[in-house]
Structure 1
Amino acid sequence: MTHANLMNNYFDPNSVYIEEDFRRRFWMGSHVFERLPCDVQQVNPYFRQKRNRAGRPSFSPHQKVTVALRMMAYGSPTDSIDETHGMSESTCLDILQEFCDTIVQLYKDEYLREPNQENLNRLLRKAEDRGFPGMILSLDCMHWDWKNCPTEWQ
């Protein structure tokens, strides 16, 4: 039932929520999200939907990816995941560990690498266009005067 609700809310053609809602809740577009369940289950059998000993379907790849992303993006505790997705604490933690390991394995060469000069130039141009010149070496903004910086309020 939780899989059906998830699909009805976000992924079916006439879903309850629109793309803007999806982007706000998942911090990415639905087209980016849709790649994840496909990619992770090709590399890691843990994400493929199987049947449990009672013959019922286990959690779907969409459910597992959703739980992992919610735990990372919002710091959702496993208790709240249990309430909304019906997953035990140990299952949530297993999913998160498998997801992180799989994402690193899948995307490290493309996304989890040091930028080359072309990437650096592109990022510097973007930052400068937004009013933050030279921000590559201070992504935490520690070298930028910011009158509303939370550490300045203390």
Structure 2
Amino acid sequence: MTATMRMLAYGVAADSVDNYVRIGESTAIESLKRFVKAVVAIFFERYLRSPNNDDISRLLAMGSNRRFPGMLGSIDYMHWKWKNCPIAQKGMYSGYIHEPTIILDGVASQDLWIWHAFFGMPGSHNGINVLDRSSVFSLLTQGHAPPVNYLINGNDYTMGYYLADGIYLQWATFVKIISSSQGNKQIYFAKAQESTRKEVE
């Protein structure tokens, strides 16, 4: 467990923990594989999956209670600093912050259920590049979407959406922040959108 935790926490190679914990490289790799399999076996049914119909109903109810009918969650991405990035890969993993990072793209609900996490893209990418490779919209691009029905201003909608910040594309599935709010309606909406989106931050 010590070798596994050190490899996961610090991103070090298996042969770098052999002196610290007095086990061989092959044993450290085997320990890591068993740990990952155990995590998947324990948490797959509840966490490591897309929402089913019951989950979607719960997510839509939470969105409606927060004055965002049809909302499936809040989406965002972040840069995770990679302290022990190999020198050969630093260029590929360094982006605008000039340090190696790995990108985490996630969707969270009000109860902090992170039902989508896409981790591992090099830090030189941005949210648009990550979104192209993420699985959260793979079914949507094939024409499949969760069954959603809601009414806003007399218009019927059949596609759920996500609250997002300004970096994301102008897609119908994103309700983005209004960056330069003008007038009471836009200011009110921007405040409501920001306060509802805080769980993913």
The answer, yes or no, to whether TM exceeds 0.5 is no
Q: Which structure has the higher relative contact order (CA within 8 Å, separation 6+)?
A: 2
TM-score, scaled relative to structure 1: 0.37
Instruction: Give the structure with the larger helix fraction.
Output: 1
TM-score, scaled relative to structure 2: 0.29
